[in-house]
Amino acid sequence: MGVEERLLAKNDDLAAHVRASLAALHVTAFNLMSSPGAGKTSLLERTVADLGDTRPVCVIEGDQETSFDADRIRRAGARAVQVNTGAGCHLDAAMVHRALHDLAPDKGSLLFVENVGNLVCPALFDVGERAKVVVISVTEGDDKPLKYPHMFAAADLVVVNKTDLLPYVDFDVDRLVEQARGLRAGVEVLPLSVRSGDNLAAWYTWLDATGGDAASGEGVRHGVTAVRP
């Protein structure tokens, strides 16, 4: 076994421990990944504001430097722990494990792990999540699945953000769906706009449906048609 294989195997073992610990608390964790500027933090701010009164929401923020995003989440009303990776381009299970000790999520919480902005490295590292969510924006172009196949092959959900800008950009949602499903058959693609609120109800429905019985610790797989705003 090579060095990289040993590293990933060690990470997967710890991720399994994290997943079991979260399941015991009925905490459902989602690993949010995207390139910088796609709107992960904005989506979380809106989610905290809309769901915070009905279910506890907490966030682990991953960035190379600064606490800007964690500060935004706290202002929105949720507990957040900032993890700075320095030169690292992703979060791993050990970082999340340490952050959970500081975060101490309440029983039954929704836990979001906002990964470092990067469509390459985060796809390789299980952090103990229930599901992986890839967020892209219509301003990035509809060719991202072909450029970053490992990320989209790992996705349980693809969120297409900033659909309020579709009239002004060259972005084909159907093309994106076709490419994403060529890498992950049946993956759900959810277009929405955080700014306008369009189709956010479908996001909350997906979170609720995906949470299921968090104590089972099992991941989920969806095979439904793309939701249109």
For the segment 60-91, what is each residue's pLDDT rounded down to a tens digit?
999 999 999 999 999 999 999 999 999 999 99
How do the pLDDT tens digits run along the chain, 229 residues long?
A: 686 788 889 999 999 999 999 999 999 999 999 999 999 999 999 999 999 899 999 999 999 999 999 999 999 999 999 999 999 999 999 999 999 999 999 999 999 999 999 999 999 999 999 999 999 999 999 999 999 999 999 999 999 999 999 999 999 999 999 999 999 999 999 999 999 999 999 999 999 999 865 444 343 333 333 343 3
The answer to whether residues 127 and 99 touch, using CB atoms and an 8 Å cutoff, is: no
Phi, psi of 184 (to 5 degrees): -140, 100
Alpha helices in the chain (DSSP H): 3-24, 40-51, 68-76, 93-103, 144-147, 149-154, 173-183, 200-211
pLDDT of residue 3: 67
Taken in order 170, 172, 178, 180, the sign of the CA dihedral is positive
Token couple for 10: 């060690």
The pLDDT score that the predictor gives to residue 1 is: 67
Please report the domains of the chain, with CATH numbers, ordered by start residue: 3-216 (3.40.50.300)
Location of structure tokens 């219509």:
138
Dist CA 226 CA 223 (whole Å): 9
